[in-house]
Amino acid sequence: MMATRFDPRVIRRDFPTLEQLIHGKPLAYLDNAATSQKPQAVLDALDAYYEHDNANVHRGIHELSRRATIGYEEAREKVGRWINAKESAEVIWTKGTTESLNLVAMAWGLDHVAEGDEILISVLEHHSNIVPWQILARRRGATLRYIEIDDEGRWILEDLDTLLNERTRMVAISHVSNALGTINPVQRVIEAAHRVGAVVIVDGAQGAVHTKVDVQALGADFYAFSGHKMCAPTGTGVLWGKRELLEEMSPYQGGGEMINVVSRDESTWAALPHKFEAGTPNIAGAVGFGAAVDYLADIGMDGIIAHEKALLAYALERMAEIPGMNVYGPRSLEERSAVISFTLGDAHPHDISTILDTQGIAVRAGHHCAQLVMKHFGVSSTARASFYLYNIEEDVDRLVEGLGEVARIFG
Amino acid sequence: MPKTMETPQLSSLYQQLILEHYRNPRNKAELDGKSVEIHMANPVCGDEIRLQLRIEGNEIAEAKFVGQGCSISQASVSMMTTLLQGRSLDEAGTLAERFTDMMHGDEDAAKDRTLGDLRALQGVSKFPVRIKCALLGFDALQEALKKEVSGETN
């Protein structure tokens, strides 16, 4: 579909949550890296599903079950097309990026990682792309190795050839950093990892939101992402994987839907993707995810990306004017997505967030589930403003004004 | 439909006394000869303290802390340590209870003179997500007292 001219002021009207006053002020929602707001189209899709089509999927012969199954599977096809998967059977529904990563760590990792093997991750990772690998490494007696980062929060890849070796089984890396917004050169690492025969999973929790993802062009073996950060309901996520890897993997959880035949001592598994979808899935969530992808496709990723970049450039410029401001992450716009992590003087990020909240401005304060990144920069936490398609320059102006209030109280 | 909610006043939260304790925390140092140490963290925001007490008989002879965090958590623990020196374990327990009451909106507790400077933190009770910050030091204190009573000191 042809995208119309990108206008965030028109787009904002699609999001009912943005229309409210918080503590008497209009809401400036700048916590998008945590989760996005939902457009009316997604809310309508959820309502329509529950009002008309609600039933369990792949089980009943009756009409409602047929409709629920169609909605659930059509959504899978939409999301598959969105990331350019070869086939929708490679799209596994999960409850989010975290579950997708854990699924691979357990269902692939336990069978393929042995004592003395190595798993390579990076210091930039979210805890959900560190802890599952620590658990796996401990259970298997494997070693966890790290790609280090420089003072702008970018991977140091000079020693990549020694970090990767014939013992490396798995490489788990983020496409875009949630803590700093760094857009990582994943392709280079994927190619190098494949040269030593390692399997690569990309954490796309932020990457799927802020870049145009083509899993075939990217060349990774798995790509994990969440729906709720890209306009879909909470509790939705995807694990995309190459068919040949998914085929030979053990199931992650046992139960209904994922079996073919169950006998007393053993069972056979359902075909992809159902092998990894035990139990009644989040059907409404999947339907909502499909509606979110339709909504984003209608607007067009090119417009969204260009808008986010312009807003990011404006925000970085305005924030640089504030005395005592310390912005973390890459200086170059090309290497940064719509996330700004910062500290201001000796005001603790938690205090910054409270002061901004009283003015209706929502930012995140804390370690952003990236304690290794915080440690690297010698801070315990930062404040983080993150943008999405519906944010406007006025949101940035109000953030800057709010930070003035922080400086006044703590100055 | 626009929704509105009660707007808490920032001025009631960030009183000068709180900011002063944040900038110049009292008793912030490693304690020599400590009899009990409790580590307490709030993983949501990264606030973290180690409360150290030297206990003689039934009395807190000395209280110090090390740590980092927001103005509310650090001011609260700083103020708390100034009040703990020379207090009996029972008095310390009562102090923790009174402060917790004040955080949960008890107006009488907020007038209790035994809370000293800590009364400046009354405004925190209007900011529900920050109550945990103010209680960090007291949670550590209560943990320490429990340990002391059960005799598991190091």
| Closest in A365, A380, A410 to B68, CB measured | A380
Per the annotation, the verdict on A369 as an active-site residue is: yes
Instruction: Note the pLDDT of residue A4.
Output: 63
Token output for A367: 């370690």
DSSP per residue, A269-297: EPPTTGGG--SS--HHHHHHHHHHHHHHH
Residues of chain A with CATH 3.40.640.10: 44-297
H/E run at residue B99: helix B89-103
A204 Cα to chain B: minimum distance (Å): 23
Q: What is the pLDDT of residues A4-63, one digit of tens each?
A: 689 999 999 999 999 999 999 999 999 999 999 999 999 999 999 999 999 999 877 899
CB A91 within 8 A of CB A224: no
Segment A74-123, tens digit of pLDDT: 999 999 999 999 999 999 999 999 999 999 999 999 999 999 999 999 99
**Exposure pattern of A225-241 as b/e (b: 16+ CB <10 Å)?**
bbbbbbbbbbbbbbbbb
Strand partners, A176: A183
Q: Which of A33, A130, A93, A105 is nearest to A375 (CA)?
A: A130
Residue of A19, A358, A380 with shortest CB distance to B2: A19
% helix, strand, coil for chain A, step of 5: 45, 20, 35
Of B4, B44, B130, nearest to A354 by CB-CB distance is B130
Rounded Cα distance, A79 and A224, in Å: 12
Region A295-310 average pLDDT: 97
Nearest CB among A21, A380, A381 relative to B2 is that of: A21
Residue B104 has pLDDT above 80, yes or no: yes
Amino acid at A386: S
CA A199 – CA A171 distance, rounded (Å): 6
Rounded Cα distance between B60 and B87, Å, is 6
pLDDT of the residue at B2: 46
**Rg of chain B (C-alpha set):** 16
Confidence of residue A258 (pLDDT cuts 50, 70, 90): confident
Fold of A8-30+300-404: Aspartate Aminotransferase, domain 1 (3.90.1150)
pLDDT in tens, A308-337: 999 999 999 999 999 999 999 999 999 999
CA distance A112 to chain B (A): 33
Partners of A92 in the β-ladder? A239
Residues of B in contact with A410 (CB under 8 A): 19, 71
Residues 13-42 on A with a CB inside 8 Å of B are 19-24
Encode pLDDT of B41-97 as tens digits: 987 777 899 999 999 999 999 999 999 999 999 999 999 999 999 999 999 999 999
| pLDDT score at B85 | 95
Three-class DSSP category at A22: strand
Facing residue for B7 by CB, picked from A23, A346, A371: A23
Residue in chain B nearest A346 by alpha carbon: B23
- Whether B154 shows a pLDDT value over 90: the answer reads no
Mean per-residue pLDDT for B23-39? 95
The active-site residue, picked from A18, A135, A310, A369, is A369
Contacts of A405 in chain B (CB under 8 A): 10
Strands (E), A175-255: 199-203, 222-226, 237-241
Residues of chain A with CATH 3.90.1150.10: 8-30+300-404
- Nearest-by-CA chain B residue for A360: B7
Alpha-carbon distance of A182 to B68, in angstroms, equals 27
Contact B45 A409 (CB under 8 A): no
A273 preceded by a cis bond (ω within 30 of 0): yes
Put simply, the answer to whether A346 touches B23 (Cβ < 8 Å) is yes
Which residue is associated with the tokens 């229309």? A19
pLDDT higher at A358 or B1 = A358
pLDDT at B6: 58
Partners of A149 in beta bridges: A155
pLDDT in tens, B108-151: 999 999 999 999 999 999 999 899 999 999 999 999 999 987 76
The enclosing domain of B90 has a CATH number of: 3.90.1010.10
Q: Tell me the residue range of the domain where B134 lies.
A: 2-150
Higher-pLDDT residue of A259 and A10 is: A10
| Closest-CA residue of chain A to B8 | A358
Contacts of B13 in chain A (CB under 8 A): 354
Model pTM?
A: 0.92
Task: Just give the CATH number of A44-297.
Answer: 3.40.640.10
At B152, the pLDDT band (50, 70, 90 cuts) reads low
The reported pLDDT for the residue numbered B7 is 66
Interface of B with A (CB under 8 A): 1-8, 10, 13-14, 19, 23, 44-48, 68-72, 127, 129-130, 133
Give the C-alpha separation, A308 to A301, whole Å.
10
Inter-chain contact B71–A366, Cβ cutoff 8 Å? no
Total domains in chain B come to 1
Q: Do A350 and B3 touch (CB under 8 A)?
A: no
Given this model, what pLDDT does residue B102 score?
96
Q: What are phi and psi of B62, to 5 degrees?
A: -155, 145
| A180, A181, A185, A189 alpha-carbon torsion, rounded to 10° | 60
